[in-house]
């Protein structure tokens, strides 16, 4: 595949694998690569050009955690999460994260209501789609 990504991944945990040849193809037809911080859309908006693969994660990894720092509440979440890991004397892993999130339920409430701008801001979505479409 030109692009591989895990489905249902917690926000901020996602990993994408992009073939160098796919990136080169994008740069050849879109040299400026405007909005390239949203590179995912250069691939997913051009399904006729790129081969995409979506990998299903195991259930234990399909969580609604928000593990990114876009807002001050996200930073507060990570500070509190770190305190919980320290209190429990646990090494950070996905398994221990699940344990902490289940034990300290208040953590989830700190930043779970926040929205992803690139998925909710209609103007931004339009800009991303316009910039990332490749005409055959």
Q: What is the mean pLDDT of each run of 10 residues along the chain (136 residues)?
A: 92 91 94 88 95 93 91 97 97 93 96 88 92 86
In angstroms, the CA 101 to CA 110 distance is 12
Residue with tokens 């209609």: 122
Sequence-separated contacts (24+) of 78-85 with Cβ below 8 Å: 80/104, 80/106, 80/107, 80/110, 81/107
Q: Read off the DSSP letter of residue 115.
A: P
Alpha helices in the chain (DSSP H): 20-29, 39-44, 72-88, 94-103, 106-111, 117-120, 122-132
Q: What is the pTM of this model?
A: 0.78
């Amino acid at each position: 595949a030109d692009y591989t990504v895990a489905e249902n991944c917690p926000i901020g945990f996602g990993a994408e694998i992009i073939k160098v040849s796919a990136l080169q193809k994008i740069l050849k037809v879109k040299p400026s690569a405007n909005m390239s911080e949203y590179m995912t859309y250069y691939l997913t908006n051009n399904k006729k050009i790129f081969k995409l693969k979506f990998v299903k994660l195991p259930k234990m990894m399909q969580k609604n955690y928000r593990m990114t720092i876009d807002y001050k509440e996200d930073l507060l979440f990570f500070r509190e999460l770190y305190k919980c890991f320290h209190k429990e004397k646990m090494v950070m892993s996905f398994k221990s994260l699940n344990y902490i999130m289940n034990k300290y339920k208040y953590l989830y409430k700190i930043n779970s209501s926040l929205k992803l701008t690139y998925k909710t801001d209609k103007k931004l979505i339009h800009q991303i789609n316009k910039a990332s479409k490749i005409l055959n």
